[in-house]
Amino acid sequence: MRLILVLLSLAACSHKHHLSSDHGHKANEHMHKKSHAELIKSFDDPARDEWQQPSKVIELMGALKNKKLIDIGSGSGYFTFKFQKAGARVVAADVDDKFLAHIQSQKGAPEIRKIEYSDPKMNEAEFDFAFNSNTYHHIDNRIDYFKKVLRGLKTGGKLVIVDFKLPMPEGKRIGPKESMRIPVDVVLKELSLAGFGRFEIYNHALPLQYVVVAMRD
């Protein structure tokens, strides 16, 4: 696996997808056609480990021990508890009270934080890491949103985005339909407009997803 370091110019990325479109509302409506119990069962399915490869994601992020991390869109806490096991001081953050209650009911539950679709509720320079997995496409007005994330990171802090590739790998029906997916080039452009200037991009580390690590200088 080869690490690609890039410094973006605003003209470096282009795609037919519009920046910060209304994907979020559509994705949220689609997801909540299922009950919370069904969603939690799906999120925590042990078979997820095969394609999500959480240990590889954590490896790409770097040392987490004693680092403060916000898991934005934590859902059932699939990654939350793995980050805790890796030694991070985790805040599980979600817009959904039922997901947060589920996390809080678990043994050794971390701090939870109710956030908003328009605001990650991060204090200035509060976190070493911000993490967002499989939910980037749920966020509207992403440039403004990630300006707030940038503000909430310490100098040298990292934002880690994990989401689904386009096109959908042949024969793999895991994740949202293609019309809801956000291409990596759009992610990079949006994050650069939000103020991030240095990136690590992993297109081939995971079978179904890309990983973007954006740093606050």
Phi, psi of 156 (to 5 degrees): 85, 0
State the pLDDT at residue 3: 37
pTM, full prediction: 0.85
CB atoms within 10 A of CB 16: 6
Listed range (122-131, 154-163, 176-185, 206-215) with the worst mean pLDDT = 176-185
Q: How high is the mean pLDDT of the chain?
A: 87
Domains of the chain: 4-43+51-215 (3.40.50.150)
pLDDT at 16 over 60: no
122 close to 130: Cβ distance less than 8 angstroms = yes
What span, in angstroms and rounded, lies between the C-alpha atoms of 213 and 199? 6
Q: What is the DSSP string of 121-143?
A: -PPTT-EEEEEEES-GGG-SSHH
DSSP state for residue 18 in the 8-state scheme? P
pLDDT at 64 over 80: yes
Torsion angle (degrees, nearest 10) of CA 83, 87, 93, 99: 60
What does the pLDDT look like over 187-202, one tens digit per residue? 999 999 999 999 999 9
